[in-house]
Amino acid sequence: MSERNTFYITTPIYYVNDVPHIGHAYTTIAADVLARHHRMLGHRTFFLTGTDEHGQKIQQAASAKGLTAQQLADQTVENFRRLWKVLNITNDDFIRTTEERHERVVQHIFSKLLEKGDIYLGSYEGWYCVPCETYVPEAQMGEGNTCPDCGRPLQKMTEESYFFRMSKYEKPLLEYYESHPEAILPKSRYNEIVSFIKGGLKDQSISRTTLTWGVPVPGDPKHVVYVWFDALINYLSALGYPDENGLWKTFWPACHHLVGKDIIRFHSVVWPALLMALELEPPRMVFAHGWWTVDGDKMSKSKGNVVDPFEMADVYGVDPFRYFLLREVPFGLDGDFSERAMVQRINSDLANDLGNLLNRTLQMMKKYRDGLVPSAVSPTGLELSVRRMGEEVTVQVDDLLERFAFDEALKAIWSFIGRANKYIDETMPWKLGSEGKGEELDRVLRTLFEALKLASQLVYPFMPECASRIWSQLGLPGSVSDCRRPWSFDEMEPVKVEKGDVLFPRIDLAKWDETRGRLLAERVAAAQGGQGSEGDDMDYSDHEEEITIDLFKKVELRVAQVLAVEPVPKADKLYKLELDLGYEKRTIVSGIREFYQPDELVGKRIIVICNLKPSVIRGVKSNGMLLAAESPSTKNFTLGLLTVDRDVPLGSRIH
Ligand code: MSP
């Protein structure tokens, strides 16, 4: 089979230390759209996702939960598998780095490169970021020896280590990228990577003696393979490398990696160098997508704004969520996720444009032809122009998806849907019906039927459920997922349409503001008031990295007494509390209203962080934060306030 007819698409393999969030869903949905699209093009397609289960980060998260790393991985992997089912992801395989089939390949590659001299034993001293699992060059360290990526403190480490001879591949990589400018997209990332390589490549430390949770280095088991070296190899191990009969023989050169912008260097510097060492071709394309913020803010648990993809699918449906993520923002750029903006798109693009086109067509088909689709009637110039546009848009979509321009592809599809709606207004079929112009009416209804059939085929990769519903309401045989290019506009047996439920019910925005919008605002306010999230059923790991006593001492905790409590207007979860610290009085806002009556609080001695930067919550200035313990699961959520067990003076410091 020629290379052009194979398509291998991958997502990053996700760490199992946390629950899946919008970033994971984003890449995986994008990969799914491409896989479905390429299957329709008739290409032999392989779509891989999976989980990255080794390394310090996983080991630490596990011990914080009292689990072994393997137990944590076994639990968390199920969240990912479940999410991909919910989001209709059609991955052909799911690889876990703790599987034997993967570990075997990691060891094989390690031994092979050791033998070849591309891996050697040396020693390493450097500044290490535990959460990012990476050494940071001194020149890149942030203020106070912090990680330039996550801002957390770095640790100085010295260890005996195996190194990958990356310096050897500096020139070959530059040559490769010079002759393959499409191998990294978007262009800005290509430029960034090329100039990074030009800055010089150092050999990479690829083993650790400081932990045990990893693939043992063959012949030297006090070392485990560094988690990134281990992880990148998943793209080959899942394809059965180095087996002579493995799938890699078919798919390897057709490899497309989708990754977030933060992990592009691993994929377009380390990984292709490793492949060159193995005498394999580098990936055909690495595409780095942007990051989502949420309502203009960085996503974080402490801000209460983490977008849970399960919840999105539950509240809005899977297809609207898939559609919104890919329509709202060009794939290579950062974007802002806002549920309100998603509601607006559901109403305008999905309910109005697409939903109405189907609804109006089926209603007229029922009314005038008892649901029977008229057979093809010779088209006039108007019909031909609609048809031509359909064909042009199909070509455009292919071209745009070749460059992963999902938003542009959707815009092109919607321009066709818009054209079909306009065609109804131009031809006024209800008038043709009442005037008894049967042949003209047949022509219009038939054309609309064909347009909707094409719309179903075009939206299928993005919104598979919606496409299938259109397909079956049109009375078409088989399944839209079985359609293969080129598809014909009008050759088919007579069918009868069957009107079903509305595709996308409109959402009343004013009601949404009152209910869902309010809930979201309160979640954020409650988190800012320091009392965690409410309402969702996510169980986040709350484990933080180690801190020094000096850092802890900076938190000024004191005993305060509650003087008065009143509800904050228009916020069901919030109280305004007046506190006495002995040496001064203060006001704080706190999201504990559903757990305490005001009279339970008045007179209570509580613990307050006094040097927290004041913030305005629902129009009330909050000067400090109280401390409370909350149950780890937000199902059966309970909360208890911290207090002191004997009568110490107000304002006493907590140490
Ligand atoms: N395990 C590594 C990848 C190894 S691939 C051989 C890893 N895992 S991860 O779980 O931390 O993250 C995976 C992906 O999520 C990355 O591509 C990252 O860019 C993406 N995102 C994390 N937060 C994101 C947003 N807020 N927005 C969009 N994508 C984000 O890295």
CATH number, domain of 625, equals 2.40.50.140
- Whether residue 199 lies inside any domain: the answer is no
Atom 16 of ligand 1: nearest residue by CA position = 260
160: helix, strand or coil:
strand
Ligand 1 neighbourhood includes 449 CB (under 6 angstroms): no
Q: Kindly state whether residues 477 and 591 are assigned to the same domain.
A: no
Instruction: Assess whether the C-beta atom of 305 lies below 6 angstroms from ligand 1.
Output: no
Atom of ligand 1 nearest to the CA of 14: 10
Is 446 within a domain? yes
Residues 353, 463 within the same domain = yes
**Planar angle of CA 47, 50, 53, nearest 5 degrees:** 160
Q: What pLDDT does 542 receive?
A: 38
Range of the domain at 566: 529-641
Give the C-alpha separation, 459 to 451, whole Å.
12
> Ligand 1 mean position to 20 CA, how many Å?
10
**Ligand 1 contact, 271 CB (< 6 A):** no
Beta carbon of 310 within 6 Å of any ligand 1 atom: no
Radius of gyration of the chain (CA): 29
Ligand 1 center from residue 143 Cα (angstroms): 25
C-beta separation of 531 from 591 below 8 A: yes
In a domain, 392, yes or no: yes
**263 CB near ligand 1 (under 6 Å):** yes
E strand residue ranges, 222-303: 224-225, 255-260, 285-289, 292-294
Is 437 in the same domain as 357? yes
Residue 372 pairs in a beta bridge with: 496
With a 6 Å cutoff on the Cβ, whether 24 touches ligand 1 is yes
Interval between CA 322 and ligand 1 midpoint (Å): 18
- Kindly give the pairing relationship between strand 557-567 and strand 605-609: antiparallel
Residues 463 and 533 in one domain: no
Is ligand 1 within 6 A of the CB of residue 15? Answer: yes
Residues 536 and 476 in one domain: no
**Whose Cα sits closest to atom 5 in ligand 1?**
12
Q: Is 292 in the pocket of ligand 1 (CB under 6 A)?
A: yes
Take atom 21 of ligand 1 and give the residue whose Cα is closest: 23
Domain match, 346 and 474 both: yes
Rounded distance from Cα 216 to ligand 1 centre (Å) = 25
Is the beta carbon of 283 within 6 A of some atom in ligand 1?
no
Nearest CA to ligand 1 atom 10: 14
CATH number at residue 384: 1.10.730.10
* Cβ of 231 below 6 Å from ligand 1: yes
Separation between Cα atoms, residue 180 and residue 187, nearest integer Å: 12
**Ligand 1 centroid to residue 519 C-alpha, Å:** 28
Domain-terminating residue out of 423, 454, 482: 482
Q: Is the CB of 299 under 6 A from ligand 1?
A: yes
Same domain, 473 and 364: yes
157, containing H or E segment:
strand 155-164
Q: Are residues 470 and 603 in the same domain?
A: no
Same domain, 465 and 589: no
Residues 387 and 475 in one domain: yes
In contact, 347 and 468? CB cutoff 8 Å: no
CB contact at 8 A, 449 and 490: no
Output helix, strand, coil percentages for the chain, rounded to the nearest 5. 45, 20, 35
- Cα(551) to centroid of ligand 1, in Å? 29
Query: Is the minimum distance from the CB of 262 to ligand 1 under 6 angstroms?
Result: yes
In a domain, 419, yes or no: yes
Does residue 260 line the site of ligand 1, with CB under 6 A?
A: yes
Q: How far is the CA of 531 from the centre of ligand 1 (A)?
A: 27
Spatial contact of 29 and 323, defined as CB atoms under 8 Å apart: no
Contact between 565 and 598 under an 8 Å Cβ cutoff? The reply is yes
Nearest CA to ligand 1 atom 23: 23
Indicate the residue type of 125.
E
Q: How far apart are CA 487 and CA 350, in angstroms?
A: 24
Domain presence at residue 83: no
How far is Cα 144 from Cα 124, in angstroms, rounded to an integer?
A: 22
Pocket test for ligand 1, best of 16, 189, 291 (most atoms within 8 A of CB): 291
The SS3 assignment for 93 reads: strand
Cα dist. 168→202, 203, 574 in Å?
9, 8, 60
> What's the residue count for the chain?
655
Q: Which residues are annotated as a binding site for Zn(2+)?
A: 129, 132, 147, 150
Q: Please say which residue of 454, 482, 510 terminates a domain.
A: 482
Say how far residue 425 (Cα) sits from the centre of its chain: 39
Q: Is the CB of 423 under 6 A from ligand 1?
A: no
Q: Which residues of the chain have a pLDDT value below 70?
A: 1-4, 489-492, 529-548, 550, 631-637
Is residue 472 within 8 A of residue 500, CB to CB? The reply is yes
Expressed in angstroms and rounded, the spacing between residue 227 Cα and the centre of ligand 1 is: 15
413 lies in some domain: yes
Is residue 626 within 8 A of residue 606, CB to CB? The reply is: yes
Mutate to test the pocket of ligand 1, among 9, 10, 11, 15 (most ligand atoms within 8 A of CB): 15
Cβ of 32 closer than 6 Å to ligand 1, yes or no, is no
Q: Give the C-alpha separation, 471 to 480, whole Å.
A: 6
Sign of CA dihedral 58, 59, 65, 68: positive
Domain count along the chain? 2
Displacement of CA 93 from its chain's centroid (Å): 19
Contact indicator for 327, 344 with CB cutoff of 8 Å: no
Q: Is there a domain that residue 92 lies in?
A: no
Distance in Å, CA 95 to ligand 1 centroid: 16
Which pLDDT does position 143 carry in this prediction? Answer: 87
Say what the pLDDT of residue 274 is: 98
- Binding site per annotation, positions: 129, 132, 147, 150
Report residue 651 CA to chain centroid gap.
45
- List, in sequence order, every residue forming a beta bridge with 122; answer none if it has no partner: 161
Please give the pLDDT value at position 516: 93
Same structural domain for residues 563 and 469?
A: no
Tell which atom from ligand 1 comes closest to the C-alpha of 261: 19
β 620-622/615-617 pair status:
antiparallel
Q: Specify the pLDDT at position 3.
A: 55
* Ligand 1 mean position, distance from CA 22 (Å): 10
Q: Is the CB of 26 under 6 A from ligand 1?
A: yes
Closest Cα to atom 12 of ligand 1: 14
Most ligand 1 atoms within 8 A of CB, residue of 19, 52, 54, 287 to mutate: 52
**Residues with Cβ < 8 Å from 471, sequence gap 6 or more?**
453, 456, 479, 480
3-class secondary structure, 386? helix
Residue 117 located in a structural domain:
no
Residue 4 pLDDT: 66
**Ligand 1 pocket check: which of 11, 14, 130, 269 to mutate, most ligand atoms within 8 Å of Cβ?**
14
468 and 587 inside one domain: no
Q: What atom of ligand 1 comes closest to residue 12's alpha carbon?
A: 5
Ligand 1 center to 332 CA (angstroms): 14
> Which residues are registered as beta bridge partners of 94?
49
Ligand 1 close to Cβ of residue 14 (< 6 A): yes
Which of 424, 451, 482 is a domain's end point?
Answer: 482
